[in-house]
Amino acid sequence: MLKSIRLILLLGVALAVAYYAAVRYVQQIALPLPAGIHTVAAGSSATTLCRQWQQQQLVTNTQCLMLRVYLKLHPAEAAVQQGVYRVTDQRNLLQVLALFRSGREAQFAVTLIEGETVQQSLQRLADAEYLQQDVASAGQLLHMLPWPAQWGEPPQSSEALLYPDTYYYTAGSKASALIGRAQQKLLAELEQAWQQRHGDLPLQNPYQLLILASIIEKESSYPPEKTLVASVFVNRLRKNMRLQTDPTVIYGLPDFNGNITRADLNNPHPYNTYRHRGLPPGPISLVSRASLQAAAKPAETELYYFVSKGDGTHQFSATLQQHNAAVKKYILGEH
C-alpha cells in the first residue's frame, strides 16, 4: 500500500515537472516567424498551424510536440480565428497564437490625395493590397453616390466626389465600402463648408462650391494663399469675367503633354475657362478641407489676377497693369 502511494506521488511529481517543463519550454520558444503578413485559413487550429510552420522549417518537431502537450493542458488556447494578421517582431509561440486568437486582424491603408483625379484615386484603390476590387470605373462610382436631393440635380461626373484622406481596412474589405466612406466624408465636409459660406457668394449650390474649391486646389498648394486665390475667382465671377485658369484647360485635354500652348487655350472644350465664362461644368480634382473652406469664405479683396513666382507662391494684382508687370518679372524674367 505504501509503495503504491509513493508511486502515485512520484508519478504526480513527474507529471507536474513535465507540465512546468512543457510550459516553460513553449513560453521560451522564439518562433522565427518572419515579420509581416500571415494568413490563418478557415478551420485552422494551433496544432495545424504548427505543422505548417514545421513543414516550412520555421519550428522543429520537438517544438510542435511540446506545444501539443501544453495545449492538452490548456485547450482553450488551441483555437485561432480566421483572418490576416500582421506580425511586427519576433514573438514566441504563445504570443503568436494569442494574436491569432484575438481576432485583431492587420489594418491596411490607402490614401486618396487632394489635387488628384478620380481616375488616379481608382488606380490607388486598384493597387491597394488585400482590397477586394468591385468598382471598375468612374461611371460605376458615380451611380453609388447618395446625392442629397436638396442640392439639386446630381452630378454628371464622379470627379471630386471622394474626400482625400487615409482610409483603413482589413483584408477582404470591398473597394465599394471604402468608396462609400470617402463619399460620405466628402458630403459631410461639403455640407459644412456650404453652411459656413459667406452670404454673398456668386454660387448657386454646394456643387458649384466644390467646383470652385477644386480649381483653388489645383492653383495653389500653399494654404495661406488659398483664400486670396478664391477671392480672385469670386471677384471675376461677380463681374462676369472669364476665370482664365490653366488647370481647367488642362483637365479637358485628353492628351496633355505638360506644355500648355496657344492652341490649347483656344480649344473649345467645356472646361476651357479662357473660352467660356463662369464655372466649368464640373470639378477637376479631389478637394481638401482647406480649399473647401477657402471657396466658402474667400478673402475680401479687390484682386483680379495672380501669377506664379516659381517658388510655390503667387504675386496677386488688382489691375491688369500690375499683373503685366508681375508677368514680366516672374515669368519673363524682366526687371
CATH number, domain with residue 40: 3.30.1490
Query: For 142, how many CA atoms within 13 A lie in the half-sphere containing its CB?
Result: 12
CA–CA dist 73, 92 (Å, integer): 18
Q: Quick one: 130 and 95 in the same domain?
A: no
Res 12: pLDDT:
61
State the residue range of the domain holding 34: 28-102
Query: Do 119 and 96 share a structural domain?
Result: no
Grid cell locating 312: 510655390
Domain identity same for 255 and 208: yes
Which strand (E) or helix (H) includes residue 39?
Answer: strand 36-40
Do 98 and 118 fall into the same domain? no
Residues 281 and 246 in one domain: yes
Q: Are residues 40 and 124 in the same domain?
A: no
174 lies in some domain: yes
Alpha helices in the chain (DSSP H): 2-28, 46-55, 61-73, 93-102, 118-127, 138-144, 175-195, 206-219, 226-238, 246-251, 262-266, 289-296, 320-330
The answer to whether position 158 is within a domain reads yes
Same domain? For 37 and 165 the reply is: no
Is 328 a member of any domain? Answer: no
Which of 79, 102, 125 is where one domain is finished? 102
Q: Are 47 and 161 within one domain?
A: no
Answer with the one of 102, 120, 148 that is the final residue of a domain.
102
CA 132 to each of CA 110, 169, 172: distance values in angstroms, whole numbers, following the listed order: 13, 11, 5
Considering the domain architecture, whether residues 97 and 122 belong to the same structural domain is answered as: no
Point out the domain boundary residue: 43, 71, 102. Answer: 102
Per-residue pLDDT of the chain in tens (335 residues, 90 and over written 9): 566 666 666 666 666 666 666 566 555 555 567 778 899 999 999 999 989 988 988 888 888 888 888 888 888 888 999 999 998 877 778 888 899 999 999 999 999 999 999 999 999 999 999 999 999 888 888 888 889 988 988 999 999 999 999 999 999 999 999 999 999 999 999 999 999 999 999 999 999 999 999 999 999 999 999 999 999 999 999 999 999 999 999 999 988 888 999 999 999 999 999 999 999 999 999 999 999 999 999 999 999 999 999 899 999 999 999 999 999 999 887 76
Q: Are residues 67 and 136 in the same domain?
A: no
- Tell me whether residue 65 is in a domain: yes
Residue 165 covered by a domain: yes
On whether residue 173 sits in a domain, the answer given is yes
Query: In this structure, are 94 and 195 located in the same domain?
Result: no
Predicted local distance difference test score (pLDDT) of residue 104: 94
**Number of structural domains found in the chain:** 2
For the whole model, what pTM was predicted? Answer: 0.85
260 located within any domain? yes
Clarify whether residues 127 and 71 are in a common domain. Answer: no
